[in-house]
Structures are given as C-alpha cells and as structure tokens.
C-alpha cells in the first residue's frame, strides 16, 4: 500500500466518524433495553473518584468503601443491618442458610419469576413449592399461598416482581399465623416503598425476617460487575449472616458453621456508594417513563398495562411489562424488533414446567395465571435515560400493530 492510499483511508474513516457524530443531533438516540452508558456519562466523576480511591489505597477486599456503602444503604433503607455479598443469588442462599431450615422443609415461592429464587431452595435440599401469581400485580397469590401450606411449610419467599411490592401485609399475617419465615427477594425492587394497612411506610426488602437483593448492572441499583446484599432488623440473625458469608467464621480460623465465601468487592462498593444517592432520582425516572408508556398504551382494548398510582411508590419499574390480550404477542415482538426496538419476554416458561423443577404434585389447573402470563407478557425498554422522543416512537410502533 502506498502512503497516499493509507492517508486516503484515514481521511475516509475520519469523514465517516464526523458524519456519524453530526447525525447524532438529528437521529434519535439508539434504543436499548438498558442504557447504562448514558447513565454513567452523567456520574462519571463520582464513580471514577470512588474507583480511584480503591486503587490508591490498595483496599480491594473488605476496604473502607464496603463499610461506608453498607452504612449508607442501612441508612437509606431504614434497616438495622445490611450484609453485603457477591451477588443476588448468593444473598438468597445465605439468607436461607441463616434460618433454622432443614432438608425436606417446604418453602413456598412464586411460579412466575426468575429461576434464582427456586434454585437456591432446591440447592439447600429444601422442597420448593411453586404457587400461582395474582393477575392484578403479577406477584405471588395470597390465596395460592394459603392453599399450599402444609405442616412441613417453613418459609415463604415473595418476589417483588418487576419492581412492584408484593402484598406484604397479607404475607406477614399468614406467616405469623403459621409460624413461617418470610424471605423477600428484592432483587428487582430496591427503593420501592410499601405502605401497610395501618399507614406505616417501609422500604421493600426490610419487612420480612430477611431480605435479599442484587446489584447486577441492570438492576435499579446496579454496580459494574456482580454484587448483592442481605437485609435484616434482627441482631442475632445479622450476626449469623456475617459469619456465613465469611466461611462460617466468627473468630479468625474458628469455623462454627458451614459457610460460603461471598464478598462484595471494594471497587463494586465504590460504584454503589457513588450511585446510591441517585437511586430515588433513577426510580422516579423509571416511574415517569412507565407513566408515559401506560398513558399511551392504556386506551387500547387489546392491551393491559400496569396501573400506576401517583400517590404511592410501591412500584419502581425494574421492567415495564404489559400484556397483549389478542394473541398477537409473539407477532408484536417481531414487529418491534424489526423496527430496531429491543424488547423481551419475562418470563417465557413457568418455573413449574422447567425440567429441573418438575414435581408430580403440580397440576396445570393450579397455575392458570402464570400459564396465561407467559403467553401474553412483553417488556419494553426500561431505564433511567429514556426520552420523550424514544417513548413516542416505541408506543406508536406498538399501537400501529395492535
Ligand atoms: C437478578 C435476580 C436474582 C439474582 O441476582 P444475581 O445478582 O444475578 O445473582 C434473583 N432474583 C430475582 C427476582 C432477580 O431478578
């Protein structure tokens, strides 16, 4: 290649870049299911400073930032103890390990959720009992819980699905009546508030005996890797949990119980410490985007959209999931994808139909809602950086099809 040719190529490359940059001002920002890059651009300095602090102080594991983030999160949630750990699945597992549960004990959870919840129950040789969900909020059905209770039932694991609080008043009532533990899977609803019948307000995840969350990057409070945490107001339980995450050690090299190694590393804690002050703003942005989606889509008789009550903050829209009632869900998915709109099905298969969790006790007629939801639900892009132009393009594209 001649030098001239190479410089010509360089010129062309530069020109293309310039055109691409210019067109940013005329063309809608690229649609993404989750836009972490645009979010990072706005908090770059705080996040970078946090990460730099870890690098400068060489405190990669158990560093001061882990403890600072833990204290900040306790304060934010209004909970006595936050125990950071490596991811949300670990958080659920460790929460269950900390309770007085034995192999064969039955643990009731929702059929319509991500598999992590049921996976840890099975891993600990507890018996998962999957139950149907409620059509109104897609969360665990109170009637179904009542029907599933046996003398072997020891715990209930409600999942605050898609960011919406489960019916905690009713769940806590049942738990009290039957002496059961409640472990909240709060991986999708951090920051949501739950208002009890008596008017008191609590952060979701701090109502049951123990709560578990995930800081997976796409969650409402996400780090830039893996992370998780366990919450409890019970001092003795917190002590037990702190030992379990650290190889069952309560005193150095004394292993009192079988534990695991599950740590939130300092760099992730730094990212989270920088992002936590923005969580309420982020959740508000999600709620506003959801409101715009629901306003535009809600009038169409072929669609069911999540209701949004302006007065309460019980839904922080980890996902915006609506239902297509005329049998055209899969066709809509294809239509949207063909227009460059990312969308997804959460979740396409009920857990009770998954090979790993088949159980002769389950009957199809016990899961009418889940069996319907898996055929009707579809999720639209949902994150903190959606603008009106993007939302209008998405909702117009849905409406022109249904
Ligand atoms: C993400 C998620 C988990 C697992 O969290 P990880 O950090 O990915 O292990 C558990 N339960 C639910 C409902 C989730 O959405």
Q: What pLDDT digit, counting tens, does each position of 88-137 carry?
A: 999 999 999 999 999 999 999 999 999 999 999 999 999 999 999 999 99
The whole-number pLDDT of residue 105 equals 98
The whole-number pLDDT of residue 24 equals 46
DSSP letter string, 287-321: HHHHHHHHHHHTT-TTEE-----TT---B--SSEE
Pocket test for ligand 1, best of 34, 85, 87, 88 (most atoms within 8 A of CB): 88
The whole-number pLDDT of residue 6 equals 62
In the chain, ranges of CATH 3.90.1150.10 domains: 279-401
In 3D space, the residue among 364, 16, 319, 357 whose CA is nearest the CA of residue 162 turns out to be 319
Calculate helix-pair angle for 266-275, 64-77, nearest 10 degrees. 40
Q: Ligand 1 centroid vs 113 CA: distance in angstroms?
A: 10
Which residue owns the Cα nearest ligand 1 atom 5? 88
The whole-number pLDDT of residue 2 equals 59
Residue 200 burial class via C-beta count within 10 angstroms: exposed 0-12, middle 13-18, buried 19 and up: exposed
Query: Sign of the CA dihedral 274, 280, 281, 286?
Result: positive
Q: Which residues line ligand 1 (CB under 6 A)?
A: 87-89, 113-114, 116-117, 159, 185, 187-188, 214, 216, 226, 228
The whole-number pLDDT of residue 17 equals 57
Give every residue of the chain whose pLDDT is below 70, as ranges: 1-26, 310-312
DSSP state of 240: H
Q: Tell whether pTM > 0.85.
A: yes
In the chain, ranges of CATH 3.40.640.10 domains: 42-277
The whole-number pLDDT of residue 28 equals 86
pLDDT in tens, 323-374: 999 999 999 999 999 999 999 999 999 999 999 999 999 999 999 999 999 9
Which residue owns the Cα nearest ligand 1 atom 12? 187
Q: Ligand 1 centroid vs 214 CA: distance in angstroms?
A: 6
The whole-number pLDDT of residue 16 equals 59
CB 133 within 8 A of CB 139: yes
Q: Ligand 1 centroid vs 11 CA: distance in angstroms?
A: 47
CB 131 within 8 A of CB 108: yes
In CATH terms, is domain 42-277 a member of 3.40.50.800? no
CB 172 within 8 A of CB 133: no
What number does the ligand 1 atom closest to the CA of 228 have? 7
State phi, psi for 126 to the nearest 5 degrees: -85, 165
CB 210 within 8 A of CB 95: yes
Pocket test for ligand 1, best of 91, 93, 94, 188 (most atoms within 8 A of CB): 188
In 3D space, the residue among 96, 111, 86, 78 whose CA is nearest the CA of residue 204 turns out to be 78
Pocket test for ligand 1, best of 116, 225, 260, 351 (most atoms within 8 A of CB): 116
Beta bridge partners of 164: 315
DSSP letter string, 95-157: HHHTSS--TT-EEEEESSS-THHHHHHHHTT-EEEEE-B-TTTSSBPHHHHHHH--TTEEEEE
The whole-number pLDDT of residue 308 equals 75
Query: For the domain bounded by 279-401, which CATH number is listed?
Result: 3.90.1150.10
The whole-number pLDDT of residue 29 equals 85
């Amino acid at each position: 290649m001649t030098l001239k040719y190479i410089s010509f190529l360089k010129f062309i490359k530069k020109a293309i870049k310039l055109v691409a940059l210019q067109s940013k001002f005329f063309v809608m920002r690229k649609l993404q299911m989750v836009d972490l890059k645009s979010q990072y651009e706005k908090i770059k300095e705080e996040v970078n400073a946090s990460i730099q602090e870890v690098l400068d102080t060489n405190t990669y594991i158990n560093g001061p930032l882990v403890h600072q983030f833990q204290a900040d999160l306790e304060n934010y949630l209004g909970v006595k103890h936050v125990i950071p750990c490596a991811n949300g699945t670990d958080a659920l597992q460790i929460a269950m390990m900390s309770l007085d549960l034995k192999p064969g004990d039955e643990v009731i959870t929702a059929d319509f959720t991500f598999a992590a919840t049921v996976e840890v129950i099975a891993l600990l040789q507890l018996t998962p009992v999957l139950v149907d969900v409620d059509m109104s909020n897609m969360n665990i059905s109170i009637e179904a819980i009542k029907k599933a209770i046996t003398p072997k039932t020891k715990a209930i694991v409600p999942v605050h699905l898609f960011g919406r609080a489960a019916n905690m008043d009713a769940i806590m009532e049942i738990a009290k009546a039957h002496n059961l533990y409640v472990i909240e899977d709060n991986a999708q609803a951090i920051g949501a508030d739950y208002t009890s019948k008596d008017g008191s307000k609590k952060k979701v995840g701090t109502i049951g005996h123990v709560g578990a969350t995930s800081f997976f990057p796409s969650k409402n409070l996400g780090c830039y890797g893996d992370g998780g945490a366990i919450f409890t107001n019970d001092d003795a339980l917190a002590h037990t949990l702190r030992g379990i995450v650290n190889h069952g050690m309560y005193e150095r090299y004394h292993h009192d119980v079988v534990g695991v190694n599950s740590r939130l590393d300092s760099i992730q804690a730094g990212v989270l410490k920088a992002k936590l002050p923005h969580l309420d703003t982020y959740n508000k942005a999600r709620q506003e985007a959801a409101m715009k989606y629901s306003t535009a889509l809600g009038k169409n008789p072929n669609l069911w959209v999540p209701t949004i009550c302006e007065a309460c903050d019980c839904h922080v829209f980890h996902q915006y999931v609506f239902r297509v009632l005329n049998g055209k869900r899969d066709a809509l998915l294809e239509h949207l994808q063909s227009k460059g709109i990312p969308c997804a099905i959460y979740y396409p298969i009920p857990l009770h139909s998954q090979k790993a969790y088949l159980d002769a006790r389950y009957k199809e007629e016990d899961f009418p809602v889940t069996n319907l939801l898996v055929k009707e639900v579809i999720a639209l892009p949902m994150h903190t950086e959606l603008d009106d132009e993007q939302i209008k393009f998405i909702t117009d594209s849905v409406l022109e099809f249904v």
